[in-house]
């Protein structure tokens, strides 16, 4: 860290900023661009069940819509940062915006799952340039080192937390394709801002600045990776549980999971007065995330209200730890864009690892829960006060549904919709349908339990590197 301080010469955070035309607007636009790109890492989460149905895919295949974006972003972030360091970050940002917007357009009209996944990978490559370039542009625009970094980190946290919610609302109101259509004009707003700043960052670089790569902050980045892996359970598995397991609509699920972003955005004001140090905030955030994930693993019932308190804990932990760890990873480290790239690479590598670990666990648990669920369904049908002919007809319809949707939580409503019964049997059939839905919800809740507990364990693993950090104040 001493080397970084020496390279900077004078702490620019203490120097007055020279006024820039439209500075506030530029800061807002650049922050919005960062939020959109990082929000894209999970923006399709609530749309996954609809994408799954549209393309007739399996859960693991659809998960690649998330994995492809996060994997490419993790791999490209550092090379993209090197381009910014060696050239003009404004040019890199503008190029990234064009590539991101073009790939997003392909996502919106993708005719197949394969095309969608490929376009998501291209999105991430362009998005990496937008993110790392915007870090340098935000610092240049504000003229204050800490303020620019803080806005960049805050935009990333807000985007990651709000992405799934906004995606769910757009999916419910229109379709999953609307998610990508809405992004295009927003991210294009960054283009004129980047063009306006062309050459300014290069001119302000100290002539003695050594742009050779410096070592990343291993402890902070490792903690970020582990927490990001854990957070995939809250931002991915919880949504699948609500929509696929509990049969909630995307808009209901989106409203339910707003508890995470609201708590994440509130974390700063809530804890700022405590003036805790980096280590204290990272440790507290890890414990809060682990506690919230444990709460999701131990839900007493399939009711949305039971998820709220665990989500609040996760959101507070997210806002507290990610912001603090990002600041620690960037403090006194030059080139700044390169170390920003390392934090992005660490976070999204963690997401990929989390998906790779947790997706097989919950899909296997769903398969293991299928036989007991089928047996319970058979018992409920046999015990129902219905004629034998109706039971046989219903059992045949249910069997087809269970076979057609093997490996995921089945939707049994079509079996009941196709059933024709006299009015005198309608009440018994409705009661049976409610009983079967309740059985499936309980089975789904149990099937996700292990995944949430494993995710909580990943959050606790982040305590290791977090406890080794220097407890420096961020004020």
Whole-number average pLDDT of the chain: 81
pLDDT at 412 over 50: yes
pLDDT band (50, 70, 90) for residue 167 = confident
pLDDT attached to residue 358: 87
The yes-or-no verdict on residue 83 having pLDDT over 70 is yes
The token duo for 322 is 């990610």
pLDDT, residue 107, reads: 95
Q: Are 129 and 79 a contacting pair, CB within 8 Å?
A: no
Q: Return the ∠ at Cα 379 (arms to 378 and 381), rounded to 5°.
A: 65
Above 90 in pLDDT, residue 375? no
DSSP track, 216-260 = --HHHHHHHHHHHHHHHIIIIIHHHIIIIIS---HHHHHHHTTHH
pLDDT in tens, 97-122: 999 999 999 999 999 999 999 999 99
- Taking the domain 2-6+22-199+212-365+449-467, which CATH number applies? 1.20.1250.20
The pLDDT assigned to 160 comes to: 80
> According to the model, what pLDDT value does residue 252 have?
85
Where along the chain do the CATH 1.20.1250.20 domains lie? 2-6+22-199+212-365+449-467
- Tell me, what's the pLDDT at 205? 55
- Report the pLDDT averaged over residues 297-309: 91
- Is the N-terminal amide bond of 187 cis, ω within 30° of 0? no
404/58 Cα distance (integer angstroms) = 11
3-state DSSP helix/strand/coil % of the chain, to nearest 5: 80, 0, 20
Q: What is the pLDDT of residue 4?
A: 39
Predicted pLDDT at 472: 65
Query: What are the C-alpha distances in Å from 252 to residues 41, 42, 438?
Result: 21, 17, 18
The average pLDDT across 363-387 equals 70
Number of Cβ atoms within 10 Å of the Cβ of 67: 20
Cα–Cα dist 183/33, whole Å: 10
Does pLDDT of 206 surpass 60?
no
Tokens 């996502």 belong to 107
Q: How far is CA 145 from CA 21, 71, 77, 296, 331, in A?
A: 19, 29, 21, 39, 9
Residue 340: closest CA among 107, 106, 148, 206? 148
pLDDT at 243: 80
pLDDT reported for residue 340? 87
Is residue 358 within 8 A of residue 451, CB to CB? The reply is: yes
pLDDT in tens, 49-60: 788 778 876 666
Percent of the chain with pLDDT over 90: 32
The number of helix segments (H) and strand segments (E) in the chain equals 21, 0
Tokens 């625009």 identify what position? 141
Cα gap 336→430, rounded to integer Å: 62
Task: Give tens-digit pLDDT for 7-25.
Answer: 333 344 344 333 434 788 8
Q: What is the DSSP letter of 469?
A: S
pLDDT at position 214 over 80? no
Mean pLDDT to the nearest integer, 153-167: 83
Regarding predicted confidence, which is higher, 474 or 274? 274
Buried b (16+ CB within 10 A) or exposed e, 353-374: bbbebbbebbbebbeebbeebe
What residues does 277 pair with on adjacent strands? 473
Residue 278's pLDDT is 80
Number of neighbours of residue 336 by Cβ within 10 angstroms: 24
> What pLDDT, in 10s, does the model give residues 419-457?
777 777 777 777 777 777 777 788 788 888 999 999 999
């Amino acid at each position: 860290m001493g080397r970084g301080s020496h390279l900077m010469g004078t702490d620019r955070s203490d120097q007055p900023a020279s006024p820039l035309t439209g500075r506030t607007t530029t800061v807002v636009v650049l922050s919005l661009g960062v939020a959109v790109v990082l929000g894209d890492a999970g923006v399709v989460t609530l749309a996954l069940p609809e994408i799954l149905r549209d393309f007739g895919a399996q859960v693991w295949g659809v998960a690649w819509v998330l994995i492809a974006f996060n994997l490419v972003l993790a791999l490209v972030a550092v090379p993209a940062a090197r381009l910014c360091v060696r050239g003009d970050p404004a040019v890199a940002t503008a190029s990234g915006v064009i590539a991101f917007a073009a790939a997003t357009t392909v996502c919106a009209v993708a005719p197949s799952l394969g095309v969608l996944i490929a376009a998501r990978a291209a999105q991430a490559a362009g998005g990496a340039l937008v993110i790392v370039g915007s870090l340098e542009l935000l610092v240049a625009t504000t003229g204050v080192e800490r303020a620019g970094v803080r806005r960049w980190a805050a935009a990333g946290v807000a985007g990651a937390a709000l992405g799934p919610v906004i995606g769910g609302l757009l999916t419910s109101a229109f379709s999953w394709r609307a998610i990508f259509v809405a992004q295009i004009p927003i991210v294009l707003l960054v283009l004129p801002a980047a063009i306006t700043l062309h050459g300014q960052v290069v001119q302000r670089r100290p002539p003695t600045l050594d742009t050779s790569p410096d070592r990343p902050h291993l402890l902070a980045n490792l903690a970020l990776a582990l927490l990001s892996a854990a957070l995939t359970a809250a931002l991915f598995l919880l949504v699948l549980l609500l929509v696929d397991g509990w049969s909630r609509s995307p808009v209901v699920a989106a409203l339910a999971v707003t508890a995470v972003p609201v708590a994440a955005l509130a974390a700063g004001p809530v804890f700022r007065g405590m003036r805790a140090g980096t280590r204290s905030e990272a440790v507290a955030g890890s414990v809060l995330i682990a506690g919230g994930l444990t709460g999701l693993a131990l839900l007493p019932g399939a009711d949305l209200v039971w998820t709220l308190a665990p989500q609040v804990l996760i959101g507070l932990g997210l806002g507290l730890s990610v912001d603090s760890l990002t600041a620690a990873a960037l403090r006194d480290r030059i080139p700044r864009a390169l170390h920003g790239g390392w934090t992005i690479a660490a976070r999204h590598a963690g997401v990929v690892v989390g998906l790779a670990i947790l997706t097989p666990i919950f899909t296997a648990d769903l398969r293991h829960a299928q036989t007991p669920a089928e047996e319970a369904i058979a018992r409920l049908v046999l015990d129902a006060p219905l004629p034998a002919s109706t039971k046989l007809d219903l059992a045949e319809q249910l069997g087809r549904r269970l076979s057609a949707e093997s490996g995921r939580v089945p939707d049994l409503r079509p079996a009941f919709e196709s059933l024709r019964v006299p009015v005198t049997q309608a009440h018994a059939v409705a009661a049976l349908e409610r009983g079967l839905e309740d059985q499936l919800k309980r089975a789904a809740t149990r099937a996700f339990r292990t995944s949430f507990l494993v995710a909580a364990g990943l959050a606790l693993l982040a305590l290791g590197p977090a406890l080794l950090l220097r407890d420096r104040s961020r004020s």
